[in-house]
Amino acid sequence: MQQIPFQTNKSSLVMKNAELIQNKTLEGISDIRDESDRSGMRIVIELKRGV
């Protein structure tokens, strides 16, 4: 589990990561999801099998 820096915009972080995955700059990631709710913030990054 990692923490994101203070005052980092969560949605822009997720969008930038999705952009890097789509441009093939980041490889080995199968999915990225924002699972935040009332109890806290959670961003899930799933890796491809064998990575």
Contact 43/33 with Cβ under 8 angstroms?
A: yes
pLDDT-derived band at 29, boundaries 50, 70, 90: very high
User: Residue 43: what residue type?
Assistant: I
Q: Mean of the pLDDT values across residues 28-36?
A: 91
Q: Mean of the pLDDT values across residues 38-49?
A: 91
The confidence score (pLDDT) of residue 40 equals 87
State how far the Cα of 4 lies from the Cα of 30, in Å rounded to an integer. 21
Q: Which of 28, 3, 24 is nearest to 13 (CA)?
A: 3
The confidence score (pLDDT) of residue 4 equals 84
